[in-house]
Amino acid sequence: VEFQLESYLPVRESVTVNDRTQSVKRTLTPDFGWLTVRSEPAGLPVTLDGKPWGTTPVERRRLSSGAHRVLVTDPRYFDRGKEVVISRGEHETVSVDLSVREGGIQVHARDSLGNDLRAQVVVDDQEIGKTPFTGKVIIGEHRVRVVLNGESWDKTVTVRERQVEK
């Protein structure tokens, strides 16, 4: 008798059948494991062995046993990955913290006479300081607002890695 099921190890053995034999049951060993992938920040694309595999968090996905390459990528972060060996019937978890790719912004506020002003600097709806301001932000497109006495000025800027946007 041979017991087979896709993704399980087959069992082959000899069985003596007589008038008392009602059934023959065997438990098959899985030829797969499970993998969970988490990242900080979450919501980033995952590739498994070079192929798209969803976005983090990926929870307890069935995967063939053996070695696999997990990579979490996003253009705003430095890629982070790990080699993982999935054992039969086991659950592995890969957690990665990605470092941001940064650029800078420099913000000044002046009145009509050219005098410097102390105004709030708001980036993507989050207050980050007062003018004059120079600081690091993650690369990509950002909405920068300068607020003073209830009035505001805003502009969308694209921050590039290792460059300062004025």
Give the per-residue pLDDT at 97: 96
Which pLDDT belongs to residue 7?
A: 87
pLDDT < 50: residue spans in the chain: none
**C-alpha to C-alpha distance for 39 and 126, rounded to whole angstroms:** 23
Q: What are the Cα distances from residue 38, in Å, to 3, 34, 97?
A: 36, 14, 9
pLDDT digits (tens, 9 = 90+) for 122-146: 999 999 999 999 999 999 999 999 9
The pLDDT value recorded for residue 19 is 84
Q: What pTM did the predictor assign?
A: 0.76
Q: Evaluate whether 104 touches 135 at the Cβ level (below 8 Å).
A: yes
Percentage, residues of the chain above pLDDT 90 = 83
